[in-house]
Amino acid sequence: MHSIFRSAQRGAAEHGWLSARHSFSFANWYEPSRMGFGVLRVINEDRVAPHSGFGTHGHRDMEILTYLLEGALWHKDSMGNGDPEALRAAGASAGAAGGPQQGVIRPGEIQRMSAGSGVMHSEFNHGDEPTHLLQIWLLPQQRGGAPGYEQASVPPDSLDGRLALLAAPGAERARVTIHSDVRLYAGRFDGAQSAALDLPPGRLAYVHVARGSVQVNGAALQAGDAWQAEPAPGEALRVELTQGQQAELLLFDLGR
């Protein structure tokens, strides 16, 4: 069976410097029917005002992915990532090469932080324009363990009319390795472009539309909407993406 969760149903938080929408219960927004889906625990759509951000705070036992839509996000953590001296030393050459500059996340990049036994970090928009991002929390396969960090580029042509594997466990050919039972794909679809993904029995599917509009298995979705499916035991699932209009989306193949 599948269900649709509309953008307007999400929790909202307005803090002046931060405008946030929560697809699952988070902070002061509590909705018992939205406590997570499989190993997926959080999808927050955040807009961070210029020269503001999240001060140093802690996480543990969570896999955290950050996907930038607009602007830039400066990340600094207790593992040494985002250290200003290291950024200054590597900044010019990294930017000139077109690759990710460790600790500064921009559109076209994916960041994975494994909180593990505990990590402190901060996230700021030091630019002059708003930063628009999706932050995703996933339950880890094992609690404890060493914290970790990874950041990678996602070539635009890998998303154009197709699904690119952004994050997956182990040795799979994903942009980043995640310690959670999930395979996260991203894609952009417009006009006649389409794609499909076959999930084996026992898996859950979740689609979040970041921008534009698209049809998921015939259901029309707009930006901020989500489509989720939980097949019957032993039943496989096929997710079909069609009729996109400047759509950008994330598709999760999830363990339970």
Q: Record the tokens describing residue 38, joined without a space.
A: 């499989």
**Which DSSP symbol is given to 145?**
-
Q: How many angstroms separate the CA atoms of 54 and 191, rounded?
A: 38
3-state SS of 72-87 is CEEEEECCCCCCHHHH
Q: How many angstroms separate the CA atoms of 239 and 252, rounded?
A: 10
So what's the pLDDT on residue 187?
Answer: 98
Q: Record the tokens describing residue 190, joined without a space.
A: 């417009």
Q: How many angstroms separate the CA atoms of 153 and 175, rounded?
A: 7
So what's the pLDDT on residue 84?
Answer: 64
Location of structure tokens 């953590």? 77
Q: How many angstroms separate the CA atoms of 45 and 11, rounded?
A: 10
Q: Per residue of the chain (256 residues), what is the pLDDT tens digit?
A: 899 999 999 999 999 999 999 999 999 999 999 999 999 999 999 999 999 999 999 999 999 999 999 999 999 999 999 876 555 554 443 443 445 667 899 999 999 999 999 999 999 999 999 999 999 999 999 999 999 999 999 999 999 999 999 999 987 899 999 999 999 999 999 999 999 999 999 999 999 999 999 999 999 999 999 999 999 988 999 999 999 999 999 999 999 9
So what's the pLDDT on residue 103?
Answer: 85
3-state class (DSSP) for residue 218: coil
So what's the pLDDT on residue 49?
Answer: 98
Q: How many angstroms separate the CA atoms of 54 and 192, rounded?
A: 40
Q: Who contacts 167 (Cβ-Cβ below 8 Å, separation ≥6)?
A: 65, 110, 112, 174, 175, 176, 177, 178, 182, 183, 184
Q: How many angstroms separate the CA atoms of 8 and 20, rounded?
A: 12
So what's the pLDDT on residue 223?
Answer: 98
So what's the pLDDT on residue 98?
Answer: 45
pTM attached to this predicted model? 0.93
Burial (CB count within 10 angstroms: exposed 0-12, middle 13-18, buried 19+), residue 178: buried
148 forms beta bridges with 114
Report which of 3, 1, 27 is spatially closest to residue 135, judged by C-alpha positions.
27
CATH of domain 2-254: 2.60.120.10
Contact 22, 33 (CB under 8 A): no
